[in-house]
Amino acid sequence: MMDAVALLSGGLDSAVSMLLARRKARIVLAITFDYGQKAVRREIQAAKNICSCYGIKHEVIELPFMRDMKSGLIEGSGMSVDSPWVPNRNGLFLNLAACYAENLGAQLVVCGFNREEAVDFPDNSTEYVEAVSKSLFYSTLNHVKVVSFVQAMDKVEIIKAAVDIELDFKYLWSCYEGEEKPCGRCPSCLKNKEAYKKAGVRCIEGFVY
């Protein structure tokens, strides 16, 4: 069984991918990034709760320079959450996780990229994951690979996988905002809300349907 470092935002996709990965790998560390995002407090707490529940070591990495990036996800940017792209965010996250993985002797970096998100975000695509892995072959001595265990799934399939592994949805935080409850209006809330309904799940992340 290989060792792995997981990227964990505290949301649905990354949590399910990490937990599915445990069937084939030991998760030696889960990483959550603080890049000045509006939901940072809720994301960190969600990630901590998940890791505590499953006995996984968790670390928060602060990236203060990213708070100057133009994105609707970042506090103080003045942009709407309807513009969620953050310049090269996933590229940076994967490479930093690969540093940790190589240092810990882990062979995998686990992320939550998936088929549905890849439609809007090219850095969630299979092609991107394969390209990053090719790059890491040369930049890590132990040839770290990037893998998502939900890569071929859409949101409904991810939710059904979460039900199968008995993930408690109350631990998750997928909203782009950082209030006490999910806003229900941002692109992430709207997309997940529709998917949860299609999957037949009625109580999710602070909502009850």
Q: What is the pLDDT of residues 124-159, one digit of tens each?
A: 999 999 999 999 999 999 999 999 999 999 999 999
The answer to pTM > 0.85 is yes
Q: Which residues pair with 31 in a beta bridge?
A: 7, 59
Mean pLDDT (the chain) is 95
* Alpha carbon distance 188, 146 (integer Å): 24
Structural domains in the chain?
2-208 (3.40.50.620)
Beta carbons within 8 Å of 190's beta carbon, 6+ residues apart: 184
Q: Is pLDDT of 4 > 50?
A: yes
Band of pLDDT at residue 209, cut at 50, 70 and 90: very low
Beta carbons within 8 Å of 189's beta carbon, 6+ residues apart: 174, 175, 176, 182, 183
Q: Give the chain's radius of gyration (CA, Å).
A: 16
Q: Are strands 25-34 and 145-148 parallel, antiparallel or unpaired?
A: unpaired
Instruction: Give the tens place of pLDDT for each residue, 85-108.
Output: 999 999 999 999 999 999 999 999
Instruction: Give the tens place of pLDDT for each residue, 14-54.
Output: 999 999 999 999 999 999 999 999 999 999 999 999 999 99
